[in-house]
Amino acid sequence: MTAPCRFGLAVLLTLARFPFPVSRVLTAQDTTKGKAVYVKWCAGCHGDGGAGDGPAASHMLPRPRDFTGAIYKIRTTASGQLPTDQDVLRSIDEGLPGTAMPAWKDRLSERERRDVLAYLKTFSAFFQDTSQHIVPLTFSKEPGGARSAAALQVGRQFYDSIGCWKCHGKAGRGDGPSAPTLKTDPGEPIFAADLHENWRFRGGAGTADIYRRLRTGLDGTPMPSFSDLIDQKFLTDEQLWRVAQYVRSLSPERAPEVRDVIHAPRILGGLPRSPDDSAWARVEAYWFPLVGQVIRKPRWFAPGVAGVWVQAVHTRDSLALRLEWDDRSESPDTAWLAFEGRVLDHLASDDSVATRADLWPDQIAVQFPRSIPAGMERPYFLMGTPTDPVYQWRWTSTPRQAAAGLARGVGRFEVLGAGSAPGAEARFADGQWGLVLTRALATADTANELQFEAGRAIPVAFFAWDGSNGEHDTRMAVSAWYFLALDQPTPPRVYLSPVVAMAVTLGLGMLVATRARRRAGAGGAGGAGGRRRA
Amino acid sequence: MRKLGSIAAVAAAVLVVALAAWTRQPAADGQGAATVTGKVKFTGAKPTNPPIDMSEEPKCKAKYTTTPTQETVVVNPNGTLANVFVYVKSGLPASAKYETPKTGVLIDQDGCHYRPHVLGIMVGQPLEIKNSDGILHNIKAKGVKNRPFNISQPTTMTSTRTFSAPEVMVPLECNVHGWMQAYLGVLPHPFYAITGVDGSFTIKGLPPGTYTIEAWHEKYGTQTATVTVAGTESKTQDFTFAAK
């Protein structure tokens, strides 16, 4: 920066400190414009008065932010302090993953976003209180060695000793002993974050984001700040970074990409029927996000299961699907009954009869058409229709069993006859279900049961219910249609053809080269003459 | 002889400190010598407090011989109510300013309980948050007029925080142990008391005037009374909360 430039900046900064009339006028304009943006885009959830009580709010958990209290989760300031403008802008720009708050950076101009920030600060007197000093914490740089076993071991050690597991669970899936009791400041039920799904972290998925949340806490939630521990030398700043690195290591390197087709390789030997069979380690896993069922009443806006990991293999005559999904409780679980009650109390219901908390089981359903469609036509994704049913496998945790049947719309499930149920083996451990469903590719009941064929695109969809979250019947998480493809065994020609092709190419190439050399040997003048003739 | 000398020295020191404290007293309009005292009575059926299952925390559980319960309603053997925050709500001279005590107010996390359960503090006075249990607690202050905070204390330690605005009450809670709750009354003056085992309270040092005295209880809400005191007068003002 040149000297005059620096001087100019200094003057500007000095001027900016004085509340001279011009700046006041500008601020007023900002909030007026900000109000217009707010009314149009934000009030539907956050409410006209900014109290987080817009018309859509009662369908949401977590609730939209109440701006009147000026309590913000995602900050760079100490617990209890107001956020910086940058902190609030970040949440506006990037949105809050895993919630209904979208990213606005591509929908609103920068000016609009700054104006709306100025306006939402008017909802709380705290922002006008000059005794509030908004100072971001000083954050150190991440120490190296993030992925080394030694670093992760230190991280794990402090994850245990500072008590992360009390809420987040031994394996980090939000299933700790205190998890069912957690509430926000206004008393809404809140899940401890599943640390295996960092793409859903509100304040960002990276190690530095996690470190910042540990330093600042998430105000308004049970997540405290751990900064005092560094001040009191219970642990060092580097050790807190190790906790962040350990937490980061629980999630995949990259957020899972949703792919349309599950490839089921053909395997030799026996079908892996147990969820803990070592054969599954060699099979690719596909992630399918699930969303609340909001089509059929009573609708469900707060599903407990965010998605399901699916793997598939087949043998000459059978198919095995392994489903794994994170679920904080092995339902039914009385420890979660009060939590479930709070969920049902806080969500607006469009049910004719109020649902009370009860001991529901966990459930999952895998859906196929009755036969592989010839074209693109598929049955209605939401469990078919009375005239065009779908073939489903349904599994429940209590009694722990699976059934096969035809669904003719939500709420109509006809179990097929004896012997139709798929094989099912399940285990629950540390906030995760693992379930393997198996069936013969071909069955006798060709009218109702899908006949699996290799080399075809077989439509498949998934549904999940978290019983401890009050989910049953229409209160469930749903997916779109995807495809399952049973890969055909590789014919020998696949291996032979490239070799033949290479040999042919080599032979032809040598032939051309030999002929060219022979021509060249016949005389350069001839070649030149040829060009003249042209 | 030497012993007598040291006693004299200590006495002199105490006198000097007392004198210094006395001379530092703010304008006379804020201080006085009147007293309001009374009892908080309880009528009706005594409710049972829910028991606490501490099996997740053996270290806390070991501190009890009988099943610990919550402290929502503590009725004393003499039929009075404990944990009532009684304070001067209004009536003090507008110009009166009260010095913030340098000594802190202690809240201890002991046996997975907050001790005490109800506290009073002045604006700016340090709240010393101690963890005697040595297991993970977090303490969250859910003020509305004060900025909320939430700090983690996974070991034996003490953290200090202050409050910037009067607020009756600021709820305190631990999210690891959902039953742990306490209430903190933040005032700009020192005229408050909390009823204890005999259900009585005493507010001393009031200047002459007419005051609204409020009694606050976490379950039964608030009651107010108007009391006029003059000079060194002591007046009695009882409150009665009825079971709901």
The structure tokens 């980090």 sit at: A172
Q: What is the DSSP string of B77-100?
A: TTSBBSS-EEEEEE-S-TT---PP
Residue A17 pLDDT: 42
Q: How many beta-carbon pairs under 8 angstroms link A with B?
A: 82
User: Is 2.60.40.420 the CATH number for B27-242?
Assistant: yes
Work out the mean pLDDT of chain B and round it to a whole number. 91
- Mark out the alpha helices in B73-156 (DSSP H runs): none
Which residues in chain A (283-342) have CB-CB distances under 8 A to chain B? none
β-bridge pairing A413-415 and B114-115: unpaired
Q: What is the DSSP string of A134-160?
A: --BPP-PPPPS-TTSHHHHHHHHHHHH
Q: Which residues in chain B are contacts of A219 at CB distance < 8 A?
A: 148-150
pTM: 0.84
Task: Report the alpha-carbon angle A155-A161-A167, nearest 5.
Answer: 95
Residue B17 has pLDDT above 60, yes or no: no
Written as six digits, the tokens of A250 are: 């629980």
Residue A501 pLDDT: 86
Q: Beta partners for B128?
A: B106, B160
Q: Own/partner pairs for A84-91, CB < 8 Å, 24+ apart?
A: A84/A134, A84/A136, A85/A117, A87/A136, A88/A117, A88/A120, A88/A121, A89/A113, A89/A114, A89/A117
φ and ψ at B12, to 5 degrees? Answer: -65, -45
Which of these, A369, A385, A365, lies nearest to A377 by C-alpha position? A369
CA distances from A62 to A191, A192, A201, A220 (A): 9, 12, 13, 11
Residue B221 has pLDDT above 50, yes or no: yes
Nearest-by-CA chain A residue for B165: A131
The residue type at A424: A
Within 10 angstroms of residue B220's Cβ, the number of other Cβ atoms is: 19
Distance to chain B for A81, nearest Cα, Å: 7
A223 in contact with B, Cβ within 8 Å: yes
The structure tokens 């957690």 sit at: A182
Among A81, A183, A229, select the one facing B152 at the smallest CB separation: A229
Q: Which residues in chain A are contacts of B172 at CB distance < 8 A?
A: none
Q: Which residues in chain A are contacts of B175 at CB distance < 8 A?
A: 167, 178, 181-183, 222, 224
φ and ψ at A514, to 5 degrees? Answer: -60, -45
The structure tokens 């089509």 sit at: A295
Written as six digits, the tokens of A184 are: 């926000």
pLDDT tens, per residue, chain A with 534 residues: 444 455 444 444 444 444 444 444 445 558 999 999 999 999 999 999 999 999 999 999 999 999 999 999 999 999 999 999 999 999 999 999 999 999 999 999 999 999 999 999 999 999 999 888 899 999 999 999 988 999 999 999 999 999 999 999 999 999 999 999 999 999 999 999 999 999 999 999 999 999 999 999 999 999 999 999 999 999 999 999 999 999 999 999 999 999 999 999 999 989 999 999 999 999 999 999 999 999 999 999 999 999 999 999 999 999 999 999 999 999 999 999 999 999 999 998 887 777 788 999 999 999 999 999 998 899 999 999 999 999 999 999 999 999 999 999 999 999 998 899 999 999 999 999 999 999 999 999 999 999 999 999 999 999 999 999 999 999 999 999 999 999 987 777 777 788 888 888 888 888 888 888 887 766 544 444 334 343
CA distance A80 to B160: 13
Which of these, B37, B40, B83, lies nearest to B204 by C-alpha position? B37
Question: Quick check: A342 and A180 in contact, CB under 8 A?
Answer: no
Within 10 angstroms of residue A20's Cβ, the number of other Cβ atoms is: 10
Record: contact A219-B149, CB cut-off 8 A? yes
Q: Beta partners for B81?
A: B75
Which of these, A271, A269, A362, A258, lies nearest to A310 by C-alpha position? A258
Residues 6+ apart with CB under 8 A from A507: none
Record: contact B140-A224, CB cut-off 8 A? yes
φ and ψ at A430, to 5 degrees? Answer: 45, 50
Domains and CATH numbers, chain A: 24-127 (1.10.760.10), 149-249 (1.10.760.10), 261-486 (2.60.40.1190)
A423 in contact with B, Cβ within 8 Å: no
The residue type at B54: M
A488 in contact with B, Cβ within 8 Å: no
User: CA torsion, points A54, A57, A63, A68, in degrees to nearest 10?
Assistant: 10
Element containing residue B4 per DSSP (H, E): helix B2-23
Helix axes A237-249, A149-161, angle to 10 degrees: 100
Which of these, A391, A399, A403, A410, lies nearest to A476 by C-alpha position? A410
CA distance B118 to A18: 45
Q: Beta partners for A364?
A: A395, A464
Residue B10 pLDDT: 56
pLDDT band at B26 (very low <50, low <70, confident <90, very high): very low
* Residues of chain B above pLDDT 90, percent: 85
Residue A422: DSSP 8-state: P
Specify whether the backbone of B71 is left (phi greater than 0), alpha (psi in -120 to 50) or beta: alpha
Which of these, A203, A19, A189, A50, lies nearest to A121 by C-alpha position? A50
**Complex ipTM over 0.90:** no
Overall size of chain B counted in residues: 244
**Distance between the two ends of chain A, CA-based, in angstroms?**
65
A181 in contact with B, Cβ within 8 Å: yes
CA distance B35 to B233: 6
Residue A525 pLDDT: 45
User: CA torsion, points A498, A504, A505, A510, in degrees to nearest 10?
Assistant: 150
Element containing residue A515 per DSSP (H, E): helix A493-521
Question: Quick check: A272 and A279 in contact, CB under 8 A?
Answer: yes
Q: Tell me what percent of chain A is helix, strand and coil, each rounded to the nearest 5.
A: 35, 15, 50
The structure tokens 């580097």 sit at: A238
Residues 6+ apart with CB under 8 A from A207: A142, A146, A241, A244, A245, A248
A80 in contact with B, Cβ within 8 Å: yes
Domain ranges of chain B: 27-242
CA distance B91 to B227: 10
B→A interface, C-beta within 8 Å: 56, 135-136, 138-142, 144, 147-155, 157, 159, 161, 164, 175-178
CA distance A469 to A486: 35
A509 in contact with B, Cβ within 8 Å: no
Residue B3 pLDDT: 57
The structure tokens 């009755």 sit at: A370
Residue A277: DSSP 8-state: -
